């Protein structure tokens, strides 16, 4: 992997793939905060772009949920779900979960289990990054920007203890920065 990746380059292509599978139907987008907000906003902009130049608009609604699992660069083992209080609005809808990174799969499996309890018509997952890690149980999202090695990535809303979200690119954090910004 290049040490710096501009994720927006892949976002337009992912939006086209999403539209091929889900287009023409009302899409309910669920952004997994805090990490996924930039990717979510960019992806929705590309999904909505054809609507601007067409008399046929695809209805979209959005919601947000937060899943907390990391301290420093280590998983705590506990997945805390914050938000998503009214997921009953998902019933019968086409649902797109937008996540920044999928690595061990536990977080996404927890969220998918929660979402499926509300009987959506369709559930698809878009992830900017898919981490190749031996801790994975093999889950693969429906839409993937690109695969990365088992490294801790920051930037493009991905943080290390709330730092580096503001970077416009994604990169692997150095050991020096990990020590400097450790919680």
**What are 50-84's pLDDT values in tens digits?**
767 666 677 888 888 887 665 555 555 666 666 65
pLDDT at residue 127, rounded to an integer? 92
Q: What is the pTM of this model?
A: 0.83
pLDDT at residue 83, rounded to an integer? 63
Percent of the chain with pLDDT over 70: 81
Q: Does the structure show a pLDDT above 70 at 3?
A: no
Given the candidates 2.40.50.1020, 3.40.50.300, 3.40.50.2020, 3.40.50.1100, the CATH classification of the domain at 8-148 is 3.40.50.2020
Q: Among the options 42, 100, 103, 105, which is catalytic?
A: 103
Q: What is the DSSP secondary-structure string of 52-99?
A: HT-S-PPPEEEEEEEEEEEETTEEEEEEEEEE-TTGGGGTTSEEEEEE
**Cis peptide bond N-terminal to 182, omega within 30:** no
Which of 73-87, 88-102, 112-126 reaches the highest mean pLDDT?
A: 112-126
Mean pLDDT of 97-104: 87
Q: Which residue's structure tokens are 């999928």?
A: 102
- The more confident residue out of 76 and 8 is 8
**What are 122-177's pLDDT values in tens digits?**
999 999 889 888 887 788 999 998 888 888 889 888 889 989 988 888 889 999 99
pLDDT at residue 96, rounded to an integer? 94
Is residue 103 part of the annotated active site? The answer reads: yes
**Sign for the pseudo-dihedral over CA of 6, 172, 156, 53:** positive
pLDDT at residue 100, rounded to an integer? 87
pLDDT at residue 118, rounded to an integer? 85
pLDDT at residue 170, rounded to an integer? 85
């Amino acid at each position: 992997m290049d040490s710096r990746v501009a994720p927006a380059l892949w976002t337009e292509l992912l939006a086209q793939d999403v539209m091929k599978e889900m287009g023409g139907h009302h899409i309910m987008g669920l952004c997994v905060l805090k990490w996924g907000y930039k990717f979510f906003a960019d992806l929705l902009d590309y999904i909505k772009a054809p609507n601007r130049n067409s008399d046929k608009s695809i209805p979209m609604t959005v919601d947000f949920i937060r899943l907390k699992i990391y301290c420093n660069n280590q998983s705590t083992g506990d997945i805390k779900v914050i938000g998503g209080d009214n997921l009953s609005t998902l019933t019968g809808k086409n649902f797109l979960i937008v996540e920044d990174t999928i690595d061990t799969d536990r977080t996404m499996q927890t969220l998918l289990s929660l979402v499926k309890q509300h009987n959506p018509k369709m559930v698809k997952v878009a992830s900017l990054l898919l981490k190749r890690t031996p801790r994975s149980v093999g889950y693969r999202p429906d839409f993937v920007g690109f695969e990365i090695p088992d490294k801790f990535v920051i930037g493009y809303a991905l943080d290390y203890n709330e730092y580096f979200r503001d970077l416009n690119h994604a990169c692997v954090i150095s050991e020096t920065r990990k020590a400097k910004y450790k919680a």
